[in-house]
Structure 1
Amino acid sequence: MNTTTPAQAPLKLAVILASNREGRFGPVVAEWFLSRATLREDFTIDYLDLGETELPSALSYRPGPEVRAVLEKVTPVLDAADAYVVLTPEYNHSFPAVLKSLIDWHYGEWQAKPVGFVSYGGMSGGLRAVEQLRQVFAEMHAVTVRDTVSFHNAGAHFDDEGNHRDPAGPDAAAKTMLDQLAWWASTAPCARRRAFSALSVVVVTVSSGGAAGPCSTARAPSSAVGRAG
């Protein structure tokens, strides 16, 4: 009798860069984060750069062919994902409009999936944008993990090659957040397969990612103290 447990397939992580501003700093932060996330064996990464995605701000239940063509590039990625990381700046005490458009064009894709945040900005490090996003994703029945990675006065922390000048703190914060995402992404499919019987909504999509195996019984990873800046 074979008592070995098959290795679980990697989870699908969608990394979303939320800035589309001209001259943006976001790609520097994105490259730093992706260089860390791609080292992990428990995730495969899909990357969505909203600066290269022209989603219309006007929503429609019956989008035309041009809008459908844009959605066909992003919706399958969101649908297949087991977890998300949103990389966001802070614009005027909030997050970019292009990110709100992406969220609002979708619904079932977000449900019962975990979301982590990497934020950057001035003195606040983008954390005010993150706090608003937690409310938005709660409405989508998504789960936002506690720990974030935040860069206060972000430009001063990276050299001209995009390397962080003191990476130990941000690296530890990123690991903690990704550990939490992996735990939630392995656990949440149980809820999705029960079709949200306790809720008054209908689940319209189910993730096809690698977390469809047995429900995790492991305890959630502990949170790190403080945040990297």
Structure 2
Amino acid sequence: MLKIGIVTGTIRENRVNLDVAKWVKQLAVEQDDAEFEIVDIKDYDLPVFAEPTSPAFTDELVEREKQLPWSRKMEEKDGYIFITPEYNHGIPSALKNALDFLYEELNDKAAGIVSYGSSGGVRSAEQLRTVLSEFQVAHVRTNPALSIFYDFDYPKLNPTEAQTKTVKTMIEQLLPWTEAMRGVRDKKHA
């Protein structure tokens, strides 16, 4: 069975991010060929990334003990759904910081992105696609982009039926890509 992590994108107080993640999980569990788990970056208390070398080139990190639970959790997943708000036209610093502690854990996996913000969080989603490409993550096309004006009775999530349908489409695209990328990983490590 495929293991999909629904990864939160922010750690700030009074965030709606976790509500969006729970909603996505509720829609995702209709799939019987995958397990979905919310992976909340706030639970990992990661320091600011200030390593002398990128994890792409070494596994000897100064903050290894703090980073290890996060690394292991992300490594055990076959694919991901990232829930990202848009902060100042970009990816939240907490999400970028958490990703900077990883490299091989994400290689040759698949991801979907659910974004939100005043413009649906599309600029954050596009920046996240660029970052995920560096990790060799295959990201699916469909991007549910929730508007804080139409999909929230702020701060309460109240997504439109169109957004619900878009999330389901994204998940339907993600699962075959996740399975295919598992094959890529198996071939590389054979």
Q: What TM-score do the two structures reach when normalised by structure 1?
A: 0.72
Hey, what's the Cα distance between the residues in 2 that align with 1:37 and 1:89? 20
Partner SS state of residue 74, structure 1: helix
Matches within 5 A, 1:217-228: none
Counterpart code for 1:164: N
Matches within 5 A, 1:1-229: 10-57=1-48, 58-59=50-51, 62-63=60-61, 67-122=63-118, 124-153=119-148, 156-159=150-153, 162=156, 164=158, 166=160, 168-195=161-188
Hey, what's the Cα distance between the residues in 2 that align with 1:152 and 1:192? 36
Hey, what's the Cα distance between the residues in 1 that align with 2:172 and 2:72? 24
Which 4+ runs in 1 deviate beyond 4 A?
159-163
C-alpha RMSD of matched pairs (Å): 2.2
> Is the contact made by 1:50 and 1:99 (CA closer than 8 Å) also made in structure 2?
yes
Partner SS state of residue 105, structure 2: helix
Hey, what's the Cα distance between the residues in 1 that align with 2:98 and 2:174? 21
Counterpart code for 2:103: Y
> Is the contact made by 1:159 and 1:165 (CA closer than 8 Å) also made in structure 2?
no
| Runs (5+) with no aligned partner, structure 2 | 53-58
Question: Is the radius of gyration larger for structure 1 or structure 2?
Answer: 1
| Runs (5+) with no aligned partner, structure 1 | 1-9, 196-202, 207-229
Deviation at 1:48, TM superposition (A): 1.4
Hey, what's the Cα distance between the residues in 2 that align with 1:127 and 1:99? 15
Counterpart code for 2:36: I
> Is the contact made by 1:46 and 1:77 (CA closer than 8 Å) also made in structure 2?
no
**Deviation by residue 1:58-98 (Cα, 9 ceiling, x = unmatched):** 2255445xx44432322222111111000000011111111
Partner SS state of residue 129, structure 2: helix
> Is the contact made by 2:9 and 2:85 (CA closer than 8 Å) also made in structure 1?
yes
Hey, what's the Cα distance between the residues in 2 that align with 1:171 and 1:157? 10
> Is the contact made by 2:146 and 2:159 (CA closer than 8 Å) also made in structure 1?
no
Hey, what's the Cα distance between the residues in 2 that align with 1:165 and 1:133? 22
Counterpart code for 2:179: S
Q: What TM-score do the two structures reach when normalised by structure 2?
A: 0.86
Deviation at 1:191, TM superposition (A): 1.8
Hey, what's the Cα distance between the residues in 2 that align with 1:165 and 1:108? 35
**Deviation by residue 1:180-207 (Cα, 9 ceiling, x = unmatched):** 1111111112222232xxxxxxx7xx9x
**Deviation by residue 1:113-145 (Cα, 9 ceiling, x = unmatched):** 1110011111x1111001011111111111111
Deviation at 1:163, TM superposition (A): 5.7
Hey, what's the Cα distance between the residues in 2 that align with 1:97 and 1:161? 21
> Is the contact made by 1:16 and 1:49 (CA closer than 8 Å) also made in structure 2?
yes
